Amino acid sequence: MRLLSILITSVVCTATVLTGALATAVERPNIVFILADDLGYGDIEAFGGDLCNVDTPHFDALCAQGMKFTNAHVTNSVCVPSRTSIMTGRYALRFAPPAQGGPWGFLGLQFPTTQFTLGRMLKQAGFTTGYVGKWHLGTQMATRDGGIQNAANTDFTKPLEVGPRDYGFDESFILPGSLDMFPYAFIHNHQWVGDVTAEKGWSAFNRRGPAAEDFEDVNVLDTFCSQAEHFITTQATVDTPFFLYVALTAPHTPTSPSQEFEGKSRIGLYGDFVMNADACIGRVVEALKKNGLTENTLVIASSDHGPGHYSGRLRKATANQMQEMEKDGHRPNGPWRGYKFSVFEGGTRVPFAAKWPGVVQPGSTSDALIGLQDLMATTAEIAGVALATDQAPDSVSFLPLIKDATAPPPRTSMVIQGTRGSSLRDGDWKLVLCPGSGSAGPFFTEPEADAAWRSAVKAFGRKPMSADELEQPPFLQLFNLAKDPGETTNLAAAHPERIREMIATYREILESGRSTPGPTLPNGRKLNVFQPVPSFVWAETDGRSP
């Protein structure tokens, strides 16, 4: 009888909790997160100021009606790891190597389906969850031969075996990768849209591959906007809150504005595409207004990293063509140094605005450091979710800042990576754990990674014998962003103690498996303070490099 009494009490308590949770869900705001692709800090007038020569009235309106964050960063200056951190609240560098996949949009799963994600968290909290736009987090596609998915063996008549639904999204309408990455076809709730029997390629890189017969690059943004509007409209009569993640494909190459926007900007094709992306923000905001949802919806807009300097007035991806626009008064990276792929501010500092009527003070500005991986902890606090110690281990809630721009900064440090180097922010100080820009390949930011390493070895006077010897100039860069926002003066030689302290902090973040308080967590791979270091840097020791 005592056991029965306990069970009855448990059921009653559970019912009470569920009832309370449902009541709370009705009162909680809807959340819309809009993420542009390769949109630079200076592409938005509210952030770039005189360095912006493109009209962006809708992003600007979010700033005017809400809060502008001037010190928002992504964890990585390239798409996939940046989006991984946003989706999981965990630094992408911690994950085990991804599942095998094919090229471009045939990318394999970037993390297992058991991973705690934004979608899963908010779905469990009672939100209806939707994802519209560029996915680029990997899928598992059905193949005709049971092999690894690629352009030749994918069965486009069958649904995805693993996709957004497996990460907590009730509804999804996606493009598997970027707009210049085949397959060029939409996937709605894991089903391919249309007949994927054509072969197409677009102007930027002309990567030709499988495509839906009716898929056209210039119609993609409009299609995503329509899908976002549809999701909002269907949720308008539902009592539970919703979370909608809208991942735009612009202004990432191919620079393909719709007919309505081509020729509309003052600076040419790139500006047209930025305006097209900005108009998408306007359409989402207008859909909320039409459905009477404005007052109870938090809208956040940002970008996955800085601009690629191979974008511009030419449709073909061309190194440094962005500099031609800069001559005419438009700097997509704003006042910052560097571009996409680099570890400099222009590659990682992004425009970020939040609008929440009755909560966010209109026209307010925060200069506090935040990371886009902080979206997880922030929405958890808004939704009333208590994160477990192993969930979102690198995410810190910036809800106090949303409520009051003068609140103490919730974070003071953050790990930020380029494609060939890492950095640590600590207040106004920034330690770059490599020489050069931390970028390589055909579209690097000067100084290019390998060339910078060679120069550093030459300045050091010999090849280093161990990783410990890298923890000093000329292999490091130290900037004070408060005094030198352009990262023009390397202070590493003048502040050895500061460097030691920051390296110790960085090492602790790596080894702890987390950057928030809590028990140590395992990383999915071995992590080193300096990674990657070109093999030519090392001196031979007993016939082997360190």
pLDDT of 368-418, one tens digit each? 999 999 999 999 999 999 999 999 999 999 999 999 999 999 999 999 999
Nearest C-alpha neighbor of 454 from the set 445, 444, 464:
464
| Amino acid code (one letter) for 327 | K
Query: Does some domain include residue 126?
Result: yes
19 within some domain:
no
Residues 338 and 467 in one domain: no
Boundary residue ending a domain (347, 373, 405): 405
Comparing C-alpha atoms, which of 261, 269, 278 is closest to residue 325? 269
**Pair (434, 338) in one structural domain:** no
Last residue of a domain, one of 336, 371, 405: 405
Domain of residue 246 covers: 26-405
Which residues of the chain are modeled with pLDDT < 70? 1-26, 541-546
Q: What is the pLDDT of residue 27?
A: 72
Question: Do 350 and 437 fall into the same domain?
Answer: no
Classify each residue of 381-405 as buried b or exposed e, where b means 16 or more C-beta atoms within 10 Å of its C-beta: bbbebebeeebbbbbbbbbbbbeeb
Show which of 375, 405, 435 is a domain's final residue: 405
Question: Has residue 509 been placed in a domain?
Answer: yes
Residue 376: strand, helix, or coil: helix
Q: Are residues 164 and 71 in the same domain?
A: yes
| 302 φ/ψ angles, rounded to the nearest 5 degrees | -160, -160
DSSP for 295-307?
A: GGEEEEEEESS--
- Quote the pLDDT of residue 26: 38
Q: How many CA atoms lie within 13 A of 254 on its CB side?
A: 24
Please state whether the peptide bond connecting residue 409 to the residue before it is cis, i.e. omega within 30 degrees of 0: no
Candidates 171, 269, 271, 255; CA nearest to 221 is: 255
| Gyration radius from the chain CA atoms | 23
Whether 470 and 378 share a structural domain: no
Residue 503, domain CATH: 3.30.1120
Distance CA 340, CA 333 (A): 9
Q: Please indicate, yes or no, whether residues 424 and 392 belong to a single structural domain of this protein.
A: no
**Contacts (Cβ under 8 Å, ≥6 apart) of 444:** 341, 342, 437
Same domain, 496 and 461: yes
Quick one: 325 and 467 in the same domain?
Answer: no
pLDDT digits (tens, 9 = 90+) for 494-521: 999 999 999 999 999 999 999 999 999 9
Strand order in the sheet with 413-417: 413-417, 422-426, 429-432, 477-480
Task: Write b or e for each residue in 107-118: b if 16 or more Cβ atoms lie within 10 A of its Cβ, otherwise e.
Answer: bbbbbeeebbbb
3-state helix, strand, coil in the chain (%, to 5): 35, 15, 50
Has residue 546 been placed in a domain?
no
Quote the pLDDT of residue 545. Answer: 58
CA angle 292, 127, 131 (to 5 degrees): 85
Distance of alpha carbon 55 from alpha carbon 272, whole angstroms: 9
DSSP-based three-state secondary structure for 188: strand
Q: Tens of pLDDT along 468-490?
A: 999 999 999 999 999 999 999 99
CB 421 within 8 A of CB 77: no
Q: Give the closest residue to 137 by CA, choosing from 192, 186, 82.
A: 82
Largest pairwise CA distance in the chain = 83
Q: How are beta strands 422-426 and 171-175 bridged, if at all?
A: unpaired
Q: For the chain, how many structural domains are there in total?
A: 2
**Strand pairing of 364-366 and 67-73?**
parallel
In a domain, 15, yes or no: no
Q: How far apart are the first and last CA of the chain?
A: 68
Residues 360 and 427 in one domain: no
| Beta bridge partner(s), residue 34 | 246, 301
Q: Tokens 């709370």, residue?
A: 24
Residues 367, 460, single domain; the answer is no
Q: What span, in angstroms and rounded, lies between the C-alpha atoms of 262 and 375?
A: 33
Give the CATH number of the domain where residue 37 resides.
Answer: 3.40.720.10
Q: Is residue 542 part of a domain?
A: no
As a whole number of angstroms, the distance between CA 481 and CA 136 comes to 32
Between CA 298 and CA 308, with CA 304 as vertex, the angle to 5 degrees is 145
Residues 473 and 377 in one domain: no
378 shares its domain with 448: no
Q: 219-234 pLDDT, tens per residue? A: 999 999 999 999 999 9
Residue 507 lies in a domain: yes
> What residues contact residue 155 under an 8 Å CB cut-off, 6+ apart?
141, 142, 143, 144
Work out the number of other CB atoms within 10 angstroms of the CB of residue 152. 12
Q: Is residue 41 part of a domain?
A: yes
